[in-house]
Amino acid sequence: MTSQQLRSHPTVTRLAEIQQQLGLKDIEFSNQLRLRMHGSNWGKILAGTYNGRFDRMLINLTVALEDYEHGSSGETDDGIVVFDHVRQTLDAVDIALIAEDEHRLVVVAGVRGSGKSRTLQLVHSKHKGHLTSARPSWAGGYLNFLNRYAEGMGLSESRSAGAAESLIIDTLRDTGGVICIDEFNHFSPDAINFQKTILNETRCVLVTATTPYHLARMASHRSIAQESMQFLRRAVAIIHIPAVSLRSIEILQRALYPKLKLNGSGQQIVSVSNRLYRMDSVCKILDDADPADPADLLKSIARHERFTKIQLKPGEE
What average pLDDT does the segment 92-107 reach? 93
Q: Are strands 76-77 and 80-81 parallel, antiparallel or unpaired?
A: antiparallel
CATH architecture of 80-236: 3-Layer(aba) Sandwich (3.40)
Kindly indicate the confidence band of residue 26, based on its pLDDT and cuts at 50, 70 and 90. Answer: confident
Claim: this prediction has a pTM higher than 0.85: no
In the chain, the amino acid numbered 305 is: E
pLDDT digits (tens, 9 = 90+) for 141-183: 899 999 999 998 889 999 999 999 999 999 999 988 999 999 9
Best CA proximity match to 65, nearest among 17, 117, 133, 121: 17
CA 95/CA 235 separation, integer angstroms:
11
pLDDT digits (tens, 9 = 90+) for 241-278: 989 988 889 889 988 998 898 888 888 999 999 999 99
**Would you state the pLDDT for residue 262?**
87
